[in-house]
Amino acid sequence: MKENIKRDNAIDLFNSILKTARDAGALQELDRIIDYDSACEFEEKNKRPISNYEFNCIFSVDYGGSEGIYIDAWLDGYLDESGHTQRLHFGTIKTLERDLAAMKTMGEACGILQYYASDYLNKNLSRYEPDPTKLSLFHNSDTPFWCRSCKSMGNIAVLKRLCPWNEQMEQYAFRCQLCGVETNYFSSSAELRKAWNNGEYWIRKSDAILVKRNALQSVCKLRGQEPCNLDCAQCPYQIIRELRHTV
């Protein structure tokens, strides 16, 4: 079924914030000195409908590299149902002036626009409601292809369990089926992938046989370990002895 919600994209949002502030008579000082204001219409991401409201509008002021003073507008947070945060540059305001009075005016405009951004979003929140049919806590695209520990490829498994404090929810973890490293459990694949990318994984003790002996030997070679007698049962690393296959 086609969605009936009227949505804004980032370009619409930037223009609506400025219009709201101007209609309220709040940008008269700014309009006396600006050279131009423009939404970032050439960025493809800014043309996509925004389907989440868990984001911030941020307005910052600084001198330009060669001339004038700029206000840059950013969106930072969740902009759709993917579970991933994004940061988009969605608008610019420029003045050619560079003196203290101009900087004060531009700085004040940042606060004014911050206020009217919140005002506009709160009054039009329905445009940003996520589509519940698209919301998903786990996305297969977040599953890594290669193991950051043993450098092997295609051996990452997704583990699932019921959330200990809410059995209506699932939690997820990654485990390399080759070397046995495993993350903590998280409620979304976005959080899980962030932990994986940050190196937050360990080899855990388990009653299950995780790794065959020949696979362990391959891991040792990949990690550049010193040559051994290939008897993993006698390996000086305790964790290798715990993970070895008995046949």
Residue 1: its pLDDT value, please? 44
| Structure token digits, residue 126 | 């329905």
- pLDDT single digits (tens) 154-183: 889 999 988 888 777 788 999 888 777 889
DSSP letter string, 108-127: HHHHHHHHHHHHHHHHTGGG
- For the chain, what is the mean pLDDT? 85
Neighbouring residues of 194: CB distance < 8 A, sequence distance ≥ 6: none
Task: Report the predicted TM-score, pTM, of the whole model to 2 decimal places.
Answer: 0.64
Neighbours of 140 (CB within 10 A): 8
Q: Please determine, for residue 143, whether its predicted confidence score (pLDDT) is greater than 70.
A: yes
